[in-house]
Amino acid sequence: MEEIFKKDRNSLSDEEIVYCVLKGHVDYFEVIYNRYAKKIYQKCLTFTKNKSESEDLLQEILIKIFTNLYSFRNKSSFNTWVYSIAHFHCINYLKHNKTKFQKNTLSIEDVLYIESEKTEQAEGDDDNDKFLFNLSVEELKKVLDLLPVEDKAILLLKYQDGLKINEICEVLELGESAVKMRIKRAKEKARILAQKVQENPNFHISYAK
């Protein structure tokens, strides 16, 4: 019996657990479940705000992770690979249920309005960070709800999943400057929306028909 199977499975790294599962010890997948399920579920909740849908999404994501384990090649960290699968699964779910989540999407006109306003109000990136992290949980929930999906998703990769810039580059298959620019713009939009939410807690976007 290999040395690795004599160790306490909870002390093994993610990559070692993957090795064990791929060696046919499928029950080791429970460790992956225990390490990631709660975080993925909370990510799904941020997107759907619905417990039952989030549980369905979580189940699908974990089975997808399991069925694709053999394709994990250690090119990126397992952590990045897992969040990448969760990220795209949630985005696809939202795209396929567009009508249901349409209320969460800003219209082009709204975005342009924000962009034009941004030029007057723009602050440094550090100021946007401070502002974002000083929001209350309820304010942040509302801001994320108002943000376009792509902006919300990239902020979640960075701040909720804790991925580094180079890891987000791997997930989104974009260059470093493009990722940094997207995060910066998302934070600027979030800041402007947060100011509106703080001025008026009932603030909502009026949609173009």
Partner 1 sequence: MQNNSSNNTNIFHRLYKDEEPSEEVKEKVMDVVKSSKTIFDLFELFSHKYFSSLIQLIVNTKKNKDNGKNNH
Q: Using the rule CB under 8 A, which residue among 3, 10, 24, 119 binds partner 1? A: 24
Q: Which of residues 79-118 bind partner 1 (CB under 8 A)?
A: none
Q: Does 67 bind partner 1 (CB under 8 A)?
A: yes
Return the residue of 14, 16, 53, 55 that touches partner 1, per CB under 8 A.
Answer: 55
| Residue 139 in contact with partner 1, rule: CB under 8 A | yes
Q: What are phi and psi of 62, to 5 degrees?
A: -70, -35
Q: Segment 160-189, which members bind partner 1 (CB under 8 A)?
A: 160, 162
Q: If you search the block for the tokens 């929306």, which residue do you land on?
A: 193
Q: Does residue 198 contact residue 139 with C-beta atoms inside 8 Å?
A: yes
End-to-end CA distance of the chain: 65
Q: Please tell me the distance from the alpha carbon of residue 169 to that of residue 176, in angstroms, as a whole number.
A: 6
Query: Residue 3: exposed, middle, or buried by beta-carbon count in 10 A (0-12, 13-18, 19+)?
Result: exposed
Binding site for partner 1 (CB under 8 A): 24, 26-27, 29-30, 33, 37-38, 41-42, 45-46, 51, 54-55, 58-59, 62-63, 66-68, 70-71, 130, 132-137, 139-141, 144, 155-156, 159-160, 162, 198
